[in-house]
Amino acid sequence: EAEVAQSPRYKITEKSQAVAFWCDPISGHATLYWYRQILGQGPELLVQFQDESVVDDSQLPKDRFSAERLKGVDSTLKIQPAELGDSAMYLCASSWWTGDTDTQYFGPGTRLTVL
Amino acid sequence: DAKTTQPNSMESNEEEPVHLPCNHSTISGTDYIHWYRQLPSQGPEYVIHGLTSNVNNRMASLAIAEDRKSSTLILHRATLRDAAVYYCILRRLDQTGANNLFFGTGTRLTVIP
């Protein structure tokens, strides 16, 4: 069964450093999402792509976070500089639409620890 | 954003049915009701979704109230592998194409052997 791939699985960095996360969605899925999940809470949407275009990045802290999906396939989420409060699980999901709704498939996530 | 209300935690004995409730009193006519679950140290996984009618699949059943202001996820025979956080989510496509999505904190299900 096809899966969403993410790397790295774990990342430890010091504050003020730059970090990057990579996501490879399920082949054929035009929609890609990045979520952030703080321990004990549900995932929160950071950015949504439709092919290579950003559809929603209203919750993305744009002063330090950036996301791209240049060829409409894989995607990179970057944080520069990282802050202590960025420690969280970063989840990537992709989806396909069936009529008026979709089913999202999540990757295993990247757990970021900022020291 | 349309939001959902779920109990923080529930317990069930193994091999017994589990009914996980969700209230969504502000649901609109175009909102689909989705359920996802998240096992420890994993990303969420899709369980089931519905609009108005009750739905069944290999994982679970979804019972939707006639007024759509509440729904119940039914696991027919809980196993230890069903121990997870279950999220009830309203999915709506707005005019910009953005998928308004709110996971909330979900219900943590503990299955007792």
Q: What residues of B are in the A interface, CB distance below 8 Å?
A: 30, 32, 34, 36, 42-46, 49, 51, 85, 87, 91, 93, 96-99, 101-106
Q: With beta carbons under 8 A apart, name residues in chain B contacting A42.
A: 85, 87, 102-106
- Give the model's pLDDT for residue B94: 65
What percentage of chain A's residues is helix, strand, coil (to nearest 5)?
Answer: 5, 55, 45
CB-CB under 8 Å, B104 with A55: no
Quick one: tokens of B13?
Answer: 């004995």
Q: Give pLDDT tens digits for A54-107.
A: 998 999 999 999 999 988 899 999 999 999 999 999 999 998 776 667 888 999
- Give the model's pLDDT for residue B8: 95
Residue ranges for chain B with pLDDT beneath 50? none
Burial A52-88 (b: 16+ CB within 10 A, else e): eeebbbeebeeeebbbebeeebebebebeebeeebbb
Q: Report the C-alpha gap between B100 and B113 in whole angstroms.
A: 38
Q: Give pLDDT tens digits for B14-26.
A: 999 999 999 999 8
Q: Give pLDDT tens digits for A9-61.
A: 999 999 999 999 999 999 999 899 999 999 989 999 999 999 999 998 999 99
Compare CB distances from B101 to A45, A91, A100 and report the shortest one's residue.
A45
Q: What are phi and psi of B106, to 5 degrees?
A: 70, 180
Q: What are phi and psi of B81, to 5 degrees?
A: -70, -10
